[in-house]
Structure 1
Amino acid sequence: MENPWKTLKINAKYENPWIRLEEHDILNPAGNPGIYGKVHFKNKALGIIPVDLEMHTWLVGQYRYTLDEYSWEIPMGGGPIGLDILESAKRELKEETGLIAAKWTEIMRIHTSNSVTDEEGFVFLAEDLVQEEPEFEETEVLQIKRIPFQEALNWVMEGKITDGISIAGILKAAKILGL
């Protein structure tokens, strides 16, 4: 479908190493002038669902500053645009859980909040796992939990997991795994 929106001007309002906030002067589909705010992410969102031979997975618990609450999530992080997303996902899994996977399957592409941001995410299923030591970043105070995959799926259904990429990824992985 052809884009019914017309961009007249883009004004950068704020920028840091991770995001750029833009205000777009636009003509909307009805032809009327207006503004549209857009958050541009400088990284791809990458989520990983590790599953071992016993059908367990790993969740990461951390306090999320933006939400002002504790959050349970799949292992995830950012991969710089232009770099290989699989290599970035491997790095994130090792950093957060200490896991190294021999088998990787990209299971989904997702837009995290497509009315306000262009952030694009990818979720991988990681299998054939070897446990090593995690390598947390200085900003990460993480709790790592290995639980049965079915329990993670239950947490999604019970609302204990609220992160969108985690929810979508766990539901997709459950379908792939036949649960």
Structure 2
Amino acid sequence: MSQKLSWRQPHGSPWQAGPPRRVYDNPWITVEEYDATAPTGAPALYGVVRFKNLALAILPLHDDGTVTLVGQNRFPHADYSWEIPEGGGALDGDPLEHARRELREEVGLEASEWREVLRTQLSNSVTDERAMGFLALGLSPVDHAPDETEDLAVARVPFREALETALAGHLPDMLTVAMLLRAYHMAHEGALPPALTRRMLS
């Protein structure tokens, strides 16, 4: 028998934390360690990665039902990843302006219509990183120059192919998976133009 989810009503006691000890710091992240008390009352040692930027994900959805992806070598997993354009924006900045910049820099596109469609926490057991996802529509090419550390390949593929590839585990970046599923849900819910929906799902 199903239960009604009271998602706005937390249960139990929150974590209690002593003063932070900074164990690492660079321009992008800080790692802090705490002597903490768990909601059960048990003592615990907790480490948190605190991010200095907001993660931004942009799904460039073309009028013909294709999407633009970027391919690049990623350092943490030492592998190659195809994913949607992503980047970071200052926590006190305008997320949309940062997303516009990332779309121009990474794939040389600008959009006439932007929709914020996703807000999420990434790996929230060990980091405080937050992300926002934008759908970019009405796309047109512009001159661009990637960041000096980025060597990017760019591909334009049918939306359904990208979605099925992600669900098969071959596009493992979580923001890419989440944004493709979000666009699929929007298409099925009638939240996108009918002609675009037909081309996406054909």
TM-score (norm 2): 0.86
Q: Which residue, out of 131, 135, 140, partners 1:121? A: 131
Q: Does 1:11 align with 2:21?
A: yes
Moved more, 124-133 or 25-34: 25-34
After the TM superposition, which parts of structure 1 deviate over 3 Å for at least 4 consecutive aligned residues? none
SS at match of 2:54: strand
TM-score (norm 1): 0.96
State the shift of 1:157 in Å: 1.5
Q: Does 1:79 align with 2:83?
A: no
**1:61-140 matches, cutoff 5 A:** 61-140=71-150
Query: How far apart in 2 are the matches of 1:5 and 1:148?
Result: 45
User: Which one-letter code corresponds to 1:51 in the other structure?
Assistant: L
Q: Which residue of 2 aligns with 1:52?
A: 62
Query: How far apart in 1 are the matches of 2:90 and 2:172?
Result: 25
Residue by residue, what CA displacement relative to the aligned partner does 1:121-179 show, whole Å, maximum 9, x if unpaired? 01100001111233100100000001111111111122110001110111101111234
What do you get for the CA RMSD once the two structures are aligned?
1.1
How many correspondences in the alignment? Answer: 179
State the shift of 1:3 in Å: 4.8
Q: Which residue of 1 aligns with 2:197?
A: none
Larger Rg: 2
Give the % identical residues.
44
Query: How far apart in 2 are the matches of 1:4 and 1:126?
Result: 38
Q: Is the 8 A contact 1:45 1:120 kept in 2?
A: yes
Q: Which residue, out of 42, 66, 75, partners 2:52? A: 42
Q: Which runs of 5+ in 2 are unaligned?
A: 1-9, 189-200
State the shift of 1:24 in Å: 1.1
